[in-house]
Structure 1
Amino acid sequence: MTTMRVVPATAVMWPQLGRVFGPREKNPTSCWCQRFCQHDEPDNRSALQREVHEADLPVGLLAILDDDVVGWTRVVPRSTLPGITGNRALARILDDDPDAWWVSCFLVRREQRGSGIGVALLEAAVDWAAQHGASVLDGHPVDADRLAGTPSPSAIFTGTLAMFQRAGFAEIGRTYRTRPVMRRELMHP
């Protein structure tokens, strides 16, 4: 029987975290979930490693299936992501709520895609943000139904509209016809 759980990405988990990045694990300049961040590290892997090791509050969550890391998501206060707060298209839709959080990316190992791990990570992100005082959790997924053809995994790293809908998010606007901004209002535990 397989069991899946989602845990915070702590320093102890760093050695396993790289496995979710697959072949990119060996490439320190690939994204390593730095698309919306700014850093002074020599490469993106070093930047994420520093974040994971130094964060008072973990910056992401890991999906673990039978003791093997199979997924990752970054979920943090929106104010910590300059690529989000400085985006003019998003600024037209988002308010200045200092307690708003953002889920910026999802990465699921190839052999596990389509098995619900992304939705499990998103649902855990909702709980994580609520536990840490977030008023809302926002994201900017892709409306895959409006794309021509089948999107590549690298095109939907921010998640899909269907995934966010399954996790109870509502659309609050669009920056482009294929890019909804999704929000989940949170109640604190």
Structure 2
Amino acid sequence: MTFEVRPATSFDDVCALVGPKRPDANVCWCLSYRISSKLNNELRGPARGEYVAKLMETRGPLGVLAYDGDTPVGWAAVAPRADTAFARNRKIPWIDDLPVWSLWCIRVRPGHRGNGVSHALISGAVEYAKTHGAPAIEAYPLDNKGAKVDLTMAYAGIRKNFEAAGFSYAADTTSTLSGFPRVIMRKEWQLKG
């Protein structure tokens, strides 16, 4: 299958992928690495979605969406690392001073998993970062070595999918998710200078 990946400009489509099933539910909205932990803990229920809508109005797309026809089937969060909590994360170290972008959340809608959506999202996030001047992009996936990963914690992606997209192992981290270590995978397209 082929999927069209484009910047996440539609709030309704972002909501379909990372928003709640009930308006009053308290779901992530992919904010935890985008805002301070204090603000993340303060925002509850509908306030989280309202905050995402405001961010989209002021900052533009917060990631990319994969579409099967007109139906949004996947989401990937991507932004300059300096604009995320990864800028201050002690468990996921900076490798160098290259102003990399981070790709930290991949979500595929149920019923569409196993069809290559995550691969399309990774490629789309790379292209989005490139077109916005990033010299490289990093991801912090699970190094699950083929073991089954709980889908709730698979949002970080898995190492083999990033390797398939041309990312290289860059460093270990002290971060773990669902019992698996996370590694830094990087894809560069400009020489450091």
Q: 1:100 and 1:111, CA in 2 relative to 1: closer, same or farther beyond 3 A?
A: same
Q: What is the aligned-residue RMSD (CA, Å)?
A: 2.2
Shift of 1:112: 0.7
Q: Among all aligned residue pairs of Structure 1 and Structure 2, give the percentage whose two residues are the same amino acid.
A: 29
For 1:1-189, list aligned pairs within 5 A: 4-10=3-9, 13-21=10-18, 24=21, 26-38=23-35, 40=39, 43-55=47-59, 57-81=60-84, 83-91=85-93, 93-97=94-98, 99-145=99-145, 147=147, 150-176=148-174, 178-187=181-190
- In 2, Cα distance between the equivalents of 1:73 and 1:25? 22
Give the SS at the match of 1:151. Answer: coil
Q: Give the alignment's TM-score, normalised by structure 1.
A: 0.84
Q: Residues 24 and 45 of structure 1: is their aligned pair in 2 closer, same or farther, counting only changes over 3 Å? A: same
What code does the residue aligned with 1:85 have?
Answer: A
Q: Would you say the 8 A contact 1:8–1:62 is kept in 2? A: yes
Match of 2:177 in 1: none
Counterparts of 2:168 and 2:76, CA distance in 1: 19
Separation (CA, whole Å) in 1 of partners of 2:114 and 2:19: 17
Q: Could you tell me how far apart the structure 2 residues matched to 1:120 and 1:69 are?
A: 13
Provide structure 2 residue ranges, at least 5 long, that are not aligned to the other structure: 175-179
Deviation at 1:146, TM superposition (A): 6.4
* Amino acid of the structure 2 residue aligned with 1:120: A
Q: Tell me the SS of whatever aligns to 2:145.
A: helix
**TM-score after normalising by structure 2:** 0.83
